[in-house]
Chains A and B, each alone.
Chain A
Amino acid sequence: VEEEARRGILTTTLGAIVNWARKQSTWPVTFGLACCAIEMMAAGAAHHDLARWGMEIFRASPRQADLMIVAGRVSQKMAPVLRQIYDQMPEPKWVISMGVCASSGGMFNNYGLVQGVDTIVPVDIYVPGCPPRPEMLMYGILRLHEKIQKRGTFK
């Protein structure tokens, strides 16, 4: 029992360390689709500076990214592309649905747009706004950090 307990303690500790390391550098994949992307770029640029959380590098390749910030409205024709990029990202991976269009279709309640990106990929954090200011996106990112720290699993 003592040995088991010791192993258990060791596992949780390692998990916490791994989650801590993961949350400190979640590299986003570039997925700017509309005006939200401008705010996302502003969040990444010098004034708001995502480098404070080790995520200033927006990777152009999904293989090197573990966070997808869906910034903007997703058209029906973009949906398979988005899903493919999500599938190409290595585990573990997270998704932030940025803005009301990505979250629910927003004001584009019509045939052309996917009514919520959560219909095609699992979403961790929804950031409302049209578009959300960089501060709101950063708040969403911090909430995601909490989520990774508390609920991340290490296998």
Chain B
Amino acid sequence: VTAPAELAERLRERFPDLVAARGEVTVTVPREELLDSLRWLRRERSLSFDSLSDVSCTDWPGREPRVWMAYHLYSMRHGNRLRVKVGLPGSDLRVDSVTPDFPAADWQEREVFDFFGVHFDGHPDLQRIIMPEGWEGYPLRKDHPLGGVPTQYKGAFVPPPDQRGL
């Protein structure tokens, strides 16, 4: 295992936008360079980040970029961990899919698509994974209401219990 500071030094040359804090190393890349960056991180034998352990997403309404993708990498050879972040503008939520390179991303990207509505270009089967097909809305966006939402059933909307006039 490489010390985080050492790993940060090793990466800073290629990724100037780098943060090493609390024992974690995070690099931010433009979304056009995401695929190249991940491929490079895997290819470099001194790094060999060959395992994509998680793909996650956060929503920050009112900020730009609004949505941040986070790719969590792990090196089987060295035991290091690394986070790669990509910011997406709220008006254009799309990013290249990493599934063709990292098959582990398949369902993770479908989950992000399901909950945040981010489109992954090149994903082989981009459809909802947890919510029912045909469900409307992206429930983990911050502007989605926390409670009191109508029940959707086969295209019909049933209002929440306190609005049914029972």
Interface on A for B, CB 8 Å cutoff?
A: 76-77, 79-80, 104-105, 109-112, 114-116, 119-120
A112 to B144, CA, bound (A): 12
Distance from B132 Cβ to chain A, minimum over Cβ atoms (Å):
5
The residues of B that contact A104 with a CB separation of less than 8 Å are: 161
Asked whether A77 lies within 8 Å of B131 as measured between CB atoms, the reply is yes
Count of CB-CB pairs between chains A and B under 8 Å: 46
With CB as the reference atom, state the residue of chain A lying closest to B149.
Answer: A111
Asked whether A76 lies within 8 Å of B144 as measured between CB atoms, the reply is no
Asked whether A111 lies within 8 Å of B158 as measured between CB atoms, the reply is no
In the complex, which of the residues A109, A110, A111 has the most CB atoms of chain B within 10 Å of its own CB atom?
A111
Asked whether B147 lies within 8 Å of A76 as measured between CB atoms, the reply is no
The residues of B that contact A109 with a CB separation of less than 8 Å are: 147-148, 160
B154 contacts A by Cβ under 8 Å: yes
Asked whether B135 lies within 8 Å of A76 as measured between CB atoms, the reply is yes
Q: Can you sample 6 A-B contacts with CB below 8 Å?
A: A76-B151, A77-B132, A110-B149, A114-B151, A115-B158, A119-B153
Please tell me which one of the listed residues B147, B153, B160, B161 contacts residue A120 in the complex, with CB atoms under 8 A apart: B153
The residues of B that contact A76 with a CB separation of less than 8 Å are: 131-132, 135, 151-153
In the complex, which of the residues B139, B150, B153 has the most CB atoms of chain A within 10 Å of its own CB atom?
B153
Distance from B107 Cβ to chain A, minimum over Cβ atoms (Å):
15
B130 contacts A by Cβ under 8 Å: yes
| Majority secondary structure of chain B interface residues (helix, strand, loop or mixed) | loop
A116 to B139, CA, bound (A): 19
A114 to B152, CA, bound (A): 8
A112 and B139 contact, Cβ closer than 8 Å, known pairs A76-B132, A77-B131: yes
New contact pairs (4) apart from A80-B132, A110-B146, A119-B153, CB-CB < 8 Å:
A109-B147, A115-B149, A116-B151, A116-B161
Asked whether B144 lies within 8 Å of A111 as measured between CB atoms, the reply is yes
A53 to B135, CA, bound (A): 41
Distance from A70 Cβ to chain B, minimum over Cβ atoms (Å):
14
A104 to B166, CA, bound (A): 12
The residues of A that contact B151 with a CB separation of less than 8 Å are: 76, 79, 114-116, 119
With CB as the reference atom, state the residue of chain B lying closest to A110.
Answer: B147
